Structure 1
Amino acid sequence: MTSEIDRDMKNRPSWRKPVGMILILLLILLWCGIAVTLIDQLSDLNFWLQLPVYVILGIAWIFPIKPLLRWMNRGSLRHLPENKGNGASDET
């Protein structure tokens, strides 16, 4: 009986995923606004001075998203330690 309840709980869709997707879209929109404002101010500079800014802005948006993705999948914002040494794995 409890295995059926456990199976039903695992098959239920989580509310965290749709909320997380909306938050990701909002974060990307916010990041785009920040990037456009910054790029607009730097548009008079030489290309070689602009290039590092483009590269940093193009990569840095991932870091605020990582904890949100972790929360969507695990329900926790912190990184949970993996089970090492016992051969068990969360991946299936």
Structure 2
Amino acid sequence: MDGSIAALGSFVSALAHRIASLPAAGRAVAKERINAIGLAPADEFRRDSDLFGEGVRTHEFQSRMQAALKWGFQTRDAELELPRLLGEVE
């Protein structure tokens, strides 16, 4: 495993254990505040979903999706090579 990935994994694991050791009431308050700051209101999620639904029905989206599948974007290897692939696809 790459050193920076291993370091991130160690940090996340230590943080998760630290959070898990907090009293339940403290975890609940922290979670509520983090969600209030980091999550958009439900109506904004619905609007984003509606916009996505409208977009996927367009010819442009369908063409781009077919190209992405042709290039293998749905594979793990493509995910790891995404910057390179994005530079190759028109």
- TM-score bracket, normalised by the shorter chain, equals under 0.3
Higher normalized helix content (fraction of residues): 2
Please give the TM-score of this superposition, normalised by the length of structure 2.
0.27
Higher relative contact order (CA 8 A, sep 6+): 1
